[in-house]
Amino acid sequence: MPNKPAKPAAGREAVLVDAARTAFARSNGAWSELMAYELGRAAIAGLLAKTGLDPKVVDLVTMGTVVQDPRTSNLAREAMLAAGMPNTTPAFTTTLACISANVAATSAVDQIQLGHIDVAIAGGAESLSDPPIRLSKNLRQALVKSQKAKGAKGYLEIVKELSPEDLIPDIPSAAEFSTGLTMGESCERFAKRVGVSRRESDEFAARSHVLAARAWKEGRYADEVVAVPVPPKMELVKEDDGPRGDTTVETLATLRPAFDKQFGLITAGSSSFLTDGGSAVLFVAKERCDQLGLKARAIVRDYVYAAGDPLEELLAGPALSVPRLLERNGIAARDVGVWEIHEAFAAQVVANLKLLADKKFLEERVGVRVAPIEVPLDRINPWGGSLSIGHPFGATGGRLLSTASRRLQVTGERWAVVTGCAAGGHGSAILLENPHASR
């Protein structure tokens, strides 16, 4: 039975005021010339531009990122400085795989609730267009040694120890360090364990694309995605390039499995793809809103981080974190009108939904006493998700928070849950309340 931390004491209220993100673009596409911090910069600058907020009032910037460029290891700092924010505002970078931005957001929220700060920008950025590819270990060591080498003979000694295959670069893999399994392999294992079918997986994936394309058409993202001019030509990038509105279950059914060629059910069409993008969310102490002329979209009520077995539960984050969040806030699943769930793989979302509805799992594995959590499909990601919009690892959390808060405004619902899974077997669940709820 895992330990169950108590709900934190009520402090000041931290509210989500506004959010912005860059368009999410397939890697090596629209953003290929930019470093990740520049995407963070664009998101921050976009947020400051749309709100007209004076950057001097911001007390803290936090940003998530996963695949770090060693030159900008504190990405948040470079992003906010380049966005023209004052150098007197501190900034730090968080990393927790695909929920890195969630950590950035909840860290900022903590500081507001505790009264340390009043205003924070939290988000994330990722570029997978230019991953840091390293030299082989032998070559790296040789290079370090060569700095101390004396004369041509010294160099020759070092070169002699190298073999031709040492020249092959060390390309980072998406495999879990502790298990050696890639995300896709792990998800195959998970889907089969929970009992997800190929059909269920393809249906969920097709739905994501159709809904995202429709949401764009209906102008749902006009307020969220900022147009970013890319130097030197300053051509504007302003739309996600992932959603394919003509996707059908039938077309997806023709695709070959991507990870387990023989027995697998996950295809490229039902997986999120490598994406570049940045997001930024503005959090403010509720009591400062009026003074700054800002309006709260959502109050951040509570959040839960959970973790499980990196082999069997690598992608089970939502099932591990959501039940505890609902239990300790005394909220029934049916009262939550807005669900934003990160879609790493279609099968992963389906598996998590199955686990959430599984009384035995909730009681024995998560250790909560709540009714099985049945989430109606129409409350989940109705404006598309990571499968279609894309998934820049460090930035996705910002997108989910933004969309959830806007959905609260559009629907008038009271509660929203934002949840996702992350490498290492982590889960994150954040509870938002609509201060202007109509139901």
Partner 1 sequence: MTSSTTSSTTTTSSKKSGEGAPVNGQQHGAAEALTLKVVDNVAVITIDVPGEKQNTLSEKTKHGFKVCFERVAADPAIEGAVLISGKPDFIAGADISMIQTRKSAAEVERLSRELQQQLFLLEQSSKPIVAAISGACMGGGLEIALACHYRIATDHPKTVLSLPEVMLGLLPGGGGTQRLPALVGIQAALDMMLTGKNVRAKKAKRMGLVDAVTVPYGLEDAAVTTCKRLIMGELSRQEPKKKLPERAAEAALEDNPAGRAILFRQARQMVMEKTGGLYPAPLAIIDVVEAGTGKGPEAGYGEESRRFGELVMSKEAAALMTLFFAQTALKKNRFGKAATPLDTLGLLGAGLMGAGIAEVTVQKGVRVLLKDVSAEALARGQKTIWSDLDKRVRSHAMSPFERDRTFSGVVPKTDYRGFDKCELVIEAVFEDLALKHKIIREIEDHVRTDCVVASNTSALPITKLAEASKRPHNIIGMHYFSPVPKMPLLEIIVHKGTAKEAKALAVDVGIRQGKTVIVVNDGPGFYTSRILGPLMDEAAQCALEGVALHLIDHAMRQWGFPVGPITLLDEVGIDVAAHVSKDMAPFFEPRFGPRDRSALEAMVKEGFTGRKGGKGFFMYEKHKQSPVEKARAIVEKAMGAGKKDKPYNPGALAILERHGVKPGSKKDVDERELQERIGLRMVNEAVQCLQDGILEGPVDGDAGAVFGLGFPPMTGGPFRYVDAVGASTVVSTLERFAARYGKRFKPAELLVDQAKSGKRFHAKG
Site for partner 1, rule CB under 8 A: 38, 41, 45, 48-55, 78, 81-84, 227, 229, 231-236, 238, 293
Could you confirm whether 289 is annotated as catalytic? no
Of 409, 373, 407, 429, the closest CA to residue 211 belongs to: 407
Cβ at position 83, least distance to partner 1 in Å: 5
CA atoms in the 13 A half-sphere facing the CB of 80: 28
Cβ atoms within 10 Å, residue 355: 24
Cβ at position 280, least distance to partner 1 in Å: 13
For the chain, count helices (H), then strands (E).
14, 12
**For residues 171 and 234, which CB has a smaller minimum distance to partner 1 in the complex?**
234
Which letter does DSSP use for residue 340 in this model? E
**For residues 43 and 314, which CB has a smaller minimum distance to partner 1 in the complex?**
43
Supply φ then ψ for residue 113, to 5 degrees: -65, -35
State how far the Cα of 225 lies from the Cα of 42, in Å rounded to an integer.
11
The beta-strand segments (E) located in 1-139 are: 14-21, 25-26, 60-64, 91-94, 119-126
Cβ at position 63, least distance to partner 1 in Å: 16
**For residues 42 and 211, which CB has a smaller minimum distance to partner 1 in the complex?**
42
State how far the Cα of 316 lies from the Cα of 187, in Å rounded to an integer.
9
**For residues 5 and 229, which CB has a smaller minimum distance to partner 1 in the complex?**
229
**For residues 235 and 309, which CB has a smaller minimum distance to partner 1 in the complex?**
235
**For residues 49 and 114, which CB has a smaller minimum distance to partner 1 in the complex?**
49
- Terminal-to-terminal C-alpha distance of the chain: 36
Cβ at position 50, least distance to partner 1 in Å: 7
Element (H, E) at 418: strand 415-422
Could you confirm whether 98 is annotated as catalytic? yes
Supply φ then ψ for residue 239, to 5 degrees: -135, 145
**For residues 133 and 234, which CB has a smaller minimum distance to partner 1 in the complex?**
234
Q: Chain centroid to CA 121: how far?
A: 16
Report how far apart, in Å, the C-alpha atoms of 201 and of each of 209, 247, 249, 430 are.
13, 13, 9, 25
The active-site residue, picked from 98, 289, 342, 426, is: 98
Whose tokens are 């402090």? That residue is: 11
The active-site residue, picked from 342, 421, 426, 436, is: 421
Sort 416 into a burial class: Cβ within 10 Å, 0-12 / 13-18 / 19+.
buried
State how far the Cα of 434 lies from the Cα of 400, in Å rounded to an integer.
15
The active-site residue, picked from 209, 342, 391, 426, is: 391
**For residues 10 and 234, which CB has a smaller minimum distance to partner 1 in the complex?**
234
C-alpha angle with apex 14: 8 to 17, nearest 5 degrees? 150
Sort 292 into a burial class: Cβ within 10 Å, 0-12 / 13-18 / 19+.
middle
Q: Which amino acids are annotated catalytic?
A: 98, 391, 421
